[in-house]
Structure 1
Amino acid sequence: MMIHLIRVLVVFLAFSLLSPAWADGPGRAAVSSAHEDATAAGEKILRQGGNAFDAAVAVSAALAVVEPESSGIGGGGFWLLHFADDDSSLMVDGRETAPAAATADMYLDDDGEVDRDLAINGALAAGIPGAPAAWVHLAEQYGLLPLADLLAPAIRLAEEGFEVDAKYQTLLNFRSDVMLRWEETAEIFMPGGEVPDLGTRIVQPDLARTLRALAEHGHDGFYRGEVAEKLVAGARAENGIWTLEDLAGYEVVEREPIRTEYRGYELITASPPSSGGIAIAQMLNIIEPFDLGQLDRIERVHLLSEAMRRAYRDRALYLGDPDFVDIPYDMLLSKHYAAGLRTTIRLDRALDSGALAADPARNVVESDNTTHFSLMDAEGNIVSGTLTVNLPFGAAYAAPGTGVLFNNEMDDFAAAPGEPNAYGLIGFEANAIEPGKRMLSSMSPTIVRSDERTAVIGTPGGSRIITMVFLGLLDFIDGNGPESWVSMPRFHHQYLPDEISAERDAFSDDEIAALESLGHEVSIRSRPAGNMHGVMWDRARDVVEAAHDPRWPSGGAVVIEVD
């Protein structure tokens, strides 16, 4: 709230100082999201006279209905906002929080080992949801239209249903055995107890009623009253620890974004409890002295992978919820610190991650859960939003009578020091479980801009989110548009496991051999990575473009001529 008040106080002065490049909006709006129905919801709101922040609520809520594998009203996310009137930005932190009864050892068995089933499946795995509070906050603080109007498309989609697509079916196959443990979950998402065929209509009347309660009563429609009582009763009946006080006490937080400069471009990106902004800024600082255009393909991949390795090492050691942890921002974002890290990089040899000090982590199966949308309105207001329930279909548990599928975000904490989570990411004391604490995230909604061009970019993809955004923004800086960012082949290094992980079409056999000769282990994924969505405003050419990731055809991107 304080950030909002300060922004309002300085708006007149700031607007008077804007350069001509930022004084006028693009005159067109654009939306790109992971589902065409959600993109249509955002377009509808923009055509009704809503601004980018209104459209962000409509898109987020629609995604919560049609992409239950990736986000939901029972999850959370980060909404990065840019305000055209005073050229300011902030991040709305709707990340889930640990219940008051949570303890650091709540997922450890009698032998002190992490019980992974407890940490990812069922009600005990769920943090207190932040998504509905964030929607209300966006609408009340920054929107132009009533919340009921913004939620209307999502309510219609819940009541009338949506058709199962390939993404829903693929990720349900990954979690189907767990989904069948709970009758309520199976009835909603697996009619007849089977993975539904493509085109099967999924109708969610209980979710529609929950959305209506939120539309009518705002924050209290979800966090107090009948819905809250059903959520707590459902959680407690299945080994959960939620209380009515946990729900009633949830609040979003407005945070200053992470900012950095790279070769004439300004980066505005997610701040902790996201690890993405700091990690991306570190990687850019490390590589900045190198002329990437003068490096050959193998040198470039090697350099970027080495930068990734070092940023992910610092992620594990230093990052967590800034309301609980003293994060060394100045050090991590310092170009001098990056210069020190750079001295350990050799262009002719990969550094073993063991030389950077940590315990080994095991290989894990990753999934393209989480979701992202990018949008801009005709005035130049921007929202880059990344939303999640963690693993596909979250904890796989829906509280009876609510339609609310619980997240399993508690697994994003470090359940034990150095113990990898479901994405192979390790953590230590900074990300230990504490009551009321927000778990560390990789979600990285980002805005990149110069005097002539602006990019709005983000993606799902677990621990790979950070590196995918990093590669995408470098492609933008290289002069390419969103069709290129969202479709380019991807590779990734996260410190541990000590390997470059890549999509099938990222490297040729000769390139893999060349990387291996430098000391890299290269692992090729069987499935594509990510689901990126981008919007670009090119002021020099007077062009607005939007694109969705071709890896999943259910996405939708549109540029809107606004009257």
Structure 2
Amino acid sequence: MRRGVVRNLTLWAVGGVLVSVGAAAPPSPSRSAQPGTGAETATAAEAAARPESAASGGSGAARATSPEKTPVAKGSGGAVASVDPDASAAGIEVLRKGGNAVDAAVATAAALGVTEPYSAGVGGGGYFVYYDAKSRKVRNLDGRETAPRTADSKLFIEDGKPVPFADAVTSGLGVGTPGTPATWQEALDSWGSKSLRTLLKPAERLARNGFTVDETFRDQTKSNRARFADFPATARLFLPGGKLPVVGSTFKNPDLARTYAELGDEGVDALYHGAIGRDVVRTVNKPPVDPDSGRKARPGDLSLKDLRDYEVERRTATRTSYRGLGVYSMAPSSSGGTTVGEALNILERTDLSKATRTRYLHRFIEASRIAFADRGRWVGDPAFEDVPKKELLSQRFADSRECLIKDDKVLKSPLAPGDPRRPAPCADGGRAAPTTYEGENTTHLTVADKWGNVVAYTLTIEQTGGSGITVPGRGFLLNNELTDFSFAPANPAVHDPNLPGPGKRPRSSLAPTIVLDKNDRPVVAVGSPGGATIITTVLQTLTGYLDRDLELVDAIAEPRASQRNAAQTELEPGLWDSGVRGRLEAIGHSFKQNPEIGAATGVERLPGGKWLAAAEKVRRGGGSAMVVKPQP
């Protein structure tokens, strides 16, 4: 097991990282589209025939194709890992020019808004976890979307019944006040060294010149085709001419390029006090649906005051001790840090390094089940709920829950929560807490710089494609984050901390995590998309790396299981088709298949000031790991 020190690791020679390298200085505290018509999609043949044009706002020529994907890279000067090579390259460009990890994270996130528009962007929110090498402290920024000030606990109730979930998703009703641009600015004001304008340039250039369409982008467009077609602005952007984008073609988004330029010129006030914000409010409150589509898109009630009043919240990071290491993650309004932390505390009593694969997975599944039972009862927006964060993360509470786990039997879900304020050993009475569905599409990036600063940043618009509603002329989709609220109490006998309220943040499962050694130096940082499966993905990746002695890229690639206090545990094919499934079923586990759980990225600190960046080998078409100065 890794015991709080950086091991001498097996190192890889990595090729295919298309990044030029320059000296860095320390940071200081086709088809032409008509204007406003959105994307330009060229065929692969047209893209190949078109000469490269000068890149706007940057040096060099525009890429004819996206950089090659590679799931692992090792070297010095800093590292970036994301799901997309263009986005990772944007972060590396910033590091190469002397920017720090915060600068690179913002640039990477903005680029993901171009290449991963169904996962994140200007119209969404997220959670930013930052390790400051100088102070050796971990900081949190809560950039979660908020409900309108007119919202109440019956936001999703009509005629005494909850609104159908799919109807709430594709509506103005589910759109929260976006927090992503405010998060970027708050991070830069606090720890960055470059201006937002500078850091948006790579993404602006990428949106203007385009990126190469891959299978994942096409498949995600296809799965949203029906609802996208009902909104003219969305259809023009993602289904030009009514057709799906062609794999290998170049996808451009000039509207988003102009939006980024406006944010760069005017700052985030362009959204929270300006023209972009007025367009957002108009779109939310009167969704521009095709009148011939037959779709009823419920309006929201977002106001300009909601935008003006939006604030990124600074939080004290969650912390738990595991195997002698400090595990830091995101505090509520996200449940990620408390739930991952509680599960680790439960697993602390088991030597997973010596456990068989069956026992390891059994314990992992049961710890996840228990932690989810507790998060459902106790975690919500701390501005509205008394969240016992310290007690949830206490070893005393974990021990009172760990004793429920037996090696020869399985706990039954829905499992009742424990009481962290008054832990009772092996208590299994009471009533089960409510659970809510969370969309499984989000994105995560992990960054480190040569000074030792680290960022783990998870950002989202909730569902794949968010609300499905594009702000006309702006090039970005709006979120449906308010559907992460409970629509109604699932169990009226148990308090639900996740009902809507005015200005309230819906509970999240985002869990960007940074692990420090006994000297408060980084060991590893990880995170993932995947809705509520984020928590189990981060937990499984951490235990695979820290306990099972897997290299980081292999811990990320491991076949996944996800138990969220449900009757059945989800298994990826690699576990479903393995012998371990039968052995787990023999002691009472019940399973269902999930073809793909999460899409993690991470960075690992190596000796000598080097970093290892790691991403998925296969999931979502594979991820992109890059370093400034690749070394064998």
Matched residue, 1:67: 116
Matched residue, 1:519: 588
Matched residue, 1:480: 550
* Range moving further from structure 2, 430-439 or 352-361: 352-361
Q: How does 1:8-407 map to 2 (within 5 A)?
A: 28-238=77-287, 239-356=299-416, 357-358=431-432, 368-407=440-479
Question: What one-letter code is carried by the residue in structure 1 that aligns with 2:126?
Answer: G
Offset at 1:359?
Answer: 7.1
Q: 1:504 aligns with which of 564, 573, 579?
A: 573
**How many angstroms apart in 2 are the aligned matches of 1:429 and 1:549?**
36
Matched residue, 1:429: 496
**How many angstroms apart in 2 are the aligned matches of 1:87 and 1:257?**
13
Offset at 1:542?
Answer: 5.7
Question: What one-letter code is carried by the residue in structure 1 that aligns with 2:606?
Answer: D
Offset at 1:330?
Answer: 2.7
Task: Give the 3-state SS of the residue equivalent to 1:293 in structure 2.
Answer: coil
Is it true that 1:534 corresponds to 2:606 in the alignment?
A: no
**How many angstroms apart in 1 are the aligned matches of 2:312 and 2:241?**
38
The alpha-carbon distance between structure 1 residues 36 and 368, as it changes in their structure 2 partners (threshold 3 A), is farther
Task: Give the 3-state SS of the residue equivalent to 1:125 in structure 2.
Answer: coil
Question: What one-letter code is carried by the residue in structure 2 that aligns with 1:358?
Answer: A
Matched residue, 2:615: 548
Offset at 1:182?
Answer: 0.3
Task: Give the 3-state SS of the residue equivalent to 2:368 in structure 1.
Answer: helix
Give the number of equivalent residue pairs.
526
Q: 1:408 aligns with which of 480, 485, 490?
A: 480
Question: What one-letter code is carried by the residue in structure 1 that aligns with 2:550?
Answer: N
**How many angstroms apart in 1 are the aligned matches of 2:196 and 2:209?**
20
**How many angstroms apart in 2 are the aligned matches of 1:517 and 1:481?**
30
Question: What one-letter code is carried by the residue in structure 1 that aligns with 2:573?
Answer: R
**How many angstroms apart in 2 are the aligned matches of 1:355 and 1:188?**
45
**How many angstroms apart in 2 are the aligned matches of 1:456 and 1:342?**
26
The alpha-carbon distance between structure 1 residues 369 and 354, as it changes in their structure 2 partners (threshold 3 A), is closer
Matched residue, 2:565: 495
Question: What one-letter code is carried by the residue in structure 2 that aligns with 1:456?
Answer: A
**How many angstroms apart in 2 are the aligned matches of 1:80 and 1:405?**
24
* Range moving further from structure 2, 65-74 or 395-404: 395-404
The alpha-carbon distance between structure 1 residues 278 and 61, as it changes in their structure 2 partners (threshold 3 A), is same
Offset at 1:355?
Answer: 5.0
The alpha-carbon distance between structure 1 residues 340 and 182, as it changes in their structure 2 partners (threshold 3 A), is same
Q: Is the 8 A contact 2:78 2:449 kept in 1?
A: yes
C-alpha distance after superposition, 1:180-225 (max 9, x if no partner)? 1100011101112232221233222222222112111212121112
**How many angstroms apart in 1 are the aligned matches of 2:439 and 2:484?**
15
**How many angstroms apart in 1 are the aligned matches of 2:80 and 2:332?**
26
Matched residue, 2:24: none
Q: CA RMSD in A?
A: 2.1
**How many angstroms apart in 1 are the aligned matches of 2:350 and 2:285?**
55
Q: Structure 1: where are the runs of 5+ without partners?
A: 1-25, 420-426
The alpha-carbon distance between structure 1 residues 208 and 500, as it changes in their structure 2 partners (threshold 3 A), is same
Offset at 1:368?
Answer: 4.8
Q: Is the 8 A contact 1:358 1:418 kept in 2?
A: no
Q: 1:449 aligns with which of 516, 524, 538?
A: 516
Question: What one-letter code is carried by the residue in structure 2 that aligns with 1:469?
Answer: V
Q: Is the 8 A contact 2:575 2:581 kept in 1?
A: no
- The answer to which structure has the higher helix fraction is 1
The alpha-carbon distance between structure 1 residues 436 and 59, as it changes in their structure 2 partners (threshold 3 A), is same
Q: Percent identity?
A: 37
Offset at 1:67?
Answer: 0.3
The alpha-carbon distance between structure 1 residues 404 and 453, as it changes in their structure 2 partners (threshold 3 A), is closer
Q: Is the 8 A contact 1:447 1:456 kept in 2?
A: yes
**How many angstroms apart in 2 are the aligned matches of 1:207 and 1:508?**
43
Q: Is the 8 A contact 1:171 1:367 kept in 2?
A: no
* Range moving further from structure 2, 530-539 or 450-459: 450-459
Question: What one-letter code is carried by the residue in structure 2 that aligns with 1:510?
Answer: G
Matched residue, 2:30: none
Q: Is the 8 A contact 2:440 2:532 kept in 1?
A: no
Q: Is the 8 A contact 2:118 2:477 kept in 1?
A: no
Q: Is the 8 A contact 2:188 2:195 kept in 1?
A: yes
Offset at 1:42?
Answer: 0.3
Question: What one-letter code is carried by the residue in structure 2 that aligns with 1:401?
Answer: G
**How many angstroms apart in 1 are the aligned matches of 2:443 and 2:389?**
27
Q: Give the structure-2-normalised TM-score.
A: 0.80
**How many angstroms apart in 2 are the aligned matches of 1:330 and 1:84?**
25
Offset at 1:300?
Answer: 1.4
**How many angstroms apart in 2 are the aligned matches of 1:106 and 1:134?**
26
**How many angstroms apart in 1 are the aligned matches of 2:208 and 2:275?**
20
**How many angstroms apart in 2 are the aligned matches of 1:327 and 1:360?**
16
The alpha-carbon distance between structure 1 residues 86 and 396, as it changes in their structure 2 partners (threshold 3 A), is same
Question: What one-letter code is carried by the residue in structure 2 that aligns with 1:560?
Answer: V
